[in-house]
Amino acid sequence: MEKQFNLKEALKKLEEISKWFETQKEIDIEEGINKVKEAAGLIKASKDRLKAVENQFEEIKKEIYQDASE
């Protein structure tokens, strides 16, 4: 079974990446590129997960209204 994407962990990791950039006196360009790539992947995955959660809420809402009208 595939582990579900965890938004809380993703946000924590994005915060860590942001703090890394804020604390660097001289940014290592190669490391910076890796951090940006990682952040971009986390942002995309977070957007995808949020869309899936939104779809789940819409399905629940449909079920509630369908049950109420019967």
For 39, the domain range is 30-70
pLDDT at 70: 67
Q: pTM for this structure? A: 0.79
- In the chain, the number of structural domains is 1
Q: What's the start-to-end Cα distance of the chain, in Å?
A: 37
70 lies in a domain?
yes
62 lies in a domain?
yes
Per-10-residue mean pLDDT of the chain, 70 residues long, equals 82 97 93 97 96 94 81
* Cα–Cα distance, 14 to 42 (Å, whole number): 7
pLDDT at 25: 92
pLDDT at 66: 84
13 lies in a domain?
no
57 lies in a domain?
yes
pLDDT at 67: 72
* Of residues 5, 3, 14, the one with CA closest to residue 43: 14
